[in-house]
Each structure stands twice: as C-alpha cells, then as structure tokens.
Amino acid sequence: MESFFNEERDQKNLMAVLEKTSMVGSVDIHAKVNGGGYTGQAGAIILGLGRALRNYDVSLESTLRENGFLSRDPRKVERKKPGQPGARKKFQFSKR
C-alpha cells in the first residue's frame, strides 16, 4: 500500500476501514484496480473492502454503513453538449 499510494490521505482512508472494524492484522488484502486516478482507485478499494468485510462478517455492516464505507461516490463526468467544445465550455464569441 505504501509503495502504490503516495498520498498519506489515501493510506489513512484505506487503513480506516480496517481500524473501524477492528480487522487490522487479521485479514490479507489483494486488490487490482484500473482507470481513474490514485484517489479514485483508493475509493474503489475502500468500497470493495467494505463489501468484502460485510460478506465476511454480517455483524460489521452497521459499523461499515455509519462510517460510509458501503456507499458509492455518485459523481460522474458530465457529457459533452452539441455545439460546444466540452461539457460547459463554449466556443469563443465574436461580435463581428
């Protein structure tokens, strides 16, 4: 984890899942992610780890849910609109 995630924030967020559920040192984790950036990949691992721990021990679900480890980030990229170069950007306006 320390070699892949350089940001301390991402490392703390990943360890928070195990610390809140008291599973530090009792499980081995192997994750494969692709796409997005480092923070997005850390978020995907957190969600997957939360779901895996819920399946492993059902009594952890309330702890995982109240800490937000079972909720997905709903944000998505806004689509490009016709007649514009991007989602919000407009072409340069020329008066004459």
80 located within any domain: no
69 contacts: CB under 8 Å, gap ≥ 6: 17, 20, 46, 47, 49, 50
59 located within any domain: yes
Report how far residue 69's alpha carbon sits from residue 49's, in angstroms, rounded to the nearest whole number: 8
56 located within any domain: yes
Global pTM reads 0.77
60 contacts: CB under 8 Å, gap ≥ 6: 21, 53, 54
60 located within any domain: yes
Residue 78 has what pLDDT? 95
27 located within any domain: yes
Residue 4 has what pLDDT? 85
pLDDT 10s digit of each residue in the chain, 96 long? 788 888 888 889 888 988 888 888 888 889 899 988 888 899 899 999 999 999 998 888 888 888 888 988 888 899 999 999 999 999 999 998
Q: Which domain holds residue 36?
A: 8-66
Report how far residue 22's alpha carbon sits from residue 59's, in angstroms, rounded to the nearest whole number: 12
36 located within any domain: yes
- The number of distinct structural domains making up the chain is 1
92 located within any domain: no
